[in-house]
Structure 1
């Protein structure tokens, strides 16, 4: 009986996990770089609350794009997130407002936008530095313009 109960408890989080639509985007740097990513879209409150929680890894060319209905201040944390992430805070015109690099897995510290944003792109930790992405660079995505 105890084994059955433990198996049921272990299965609940997986059954409750949200699924995400897929899309593509490009980051264009001031230096002329163009970097393409396959992203999952976090559009609903439930998807945004879950984000990349419980993921053991993520491909180098992947990410998650959180898109808000309106431009707003944003605040994230890393609760139940197992991999370090770069968070790119994006204005409605696609311009990167600020970047928080290598957010610490499991941290409950707030990571905030430096102003109102329309979207946040989460990439593997260290990716922004490796690609030379900086505030002022652009994220080109049809999903941000919606």
Structure 2
């Protein structure tokens, strides 16, 4: 499974969209599909690989929060509604906190989402 980031930037002089760009955010994707795995998230792990992503999927889009308690490394968090990015935030180790509206949340190594912006699309490929 892979996470694909698709963006189409606006050309500043002309206001016209450029050709959509696509790149792989993560090629090693774990799905937090149980209550326990969602509660645990990345807690108690020492590190994660550079091409790793943890995906949380929910039935409805609601305000959802993330915390970094017992996570000793920074991460990038992406909140999505119907595959569209609503928020991106870097969370600090141990004390980071973030919230946004989402039906899907993705956690990635810090720096992996540097080019991701609200309005972009993220696709899950099998």
Fold agreement, TM-score > 0.5? yes
- Larger strand percent: 2
User: Would you say 1:110 and 2:100 are equivalent positions?
Assistant: no
Corresponding residue pairs, total: 114
- Larger relative contact order, structure 1 or 2 (CA cutoff 8 Å, min sep 6): 2
Q: Alignment RMSD, CA only?
A: 1.8
CA distance in 2, matches of 1:65, 1:142: 12
Unaligned segments of structure 2, at least 5 residues: 10-20
Q: Quick check: 1:126 aligned with 2:111?
A: yes
Q: 2:57 aligns with which of 50, 67, 86?
A: 67
Change (3 A) 1:94 1:47: same
- Structure 2 partner of 1:25: 3
Moved over 4 A (4+): none
Q: Give the TM-score normalised by structure 2.
A: 0.81
Larger radius of gyration: 1
Shift of 1:33: 2.9
| TM-score, structure 1 normalization | 0.71
Residue ranges of structure 1 left out of the alignment (5+ in a row): 1-22
Distance in 2 between residues matched to 1:25 and 1:33, nearest whole Å:
10
Match of 2:44 in 1: 54
Task: Return the offset for 1:58.
Answer: 1.3
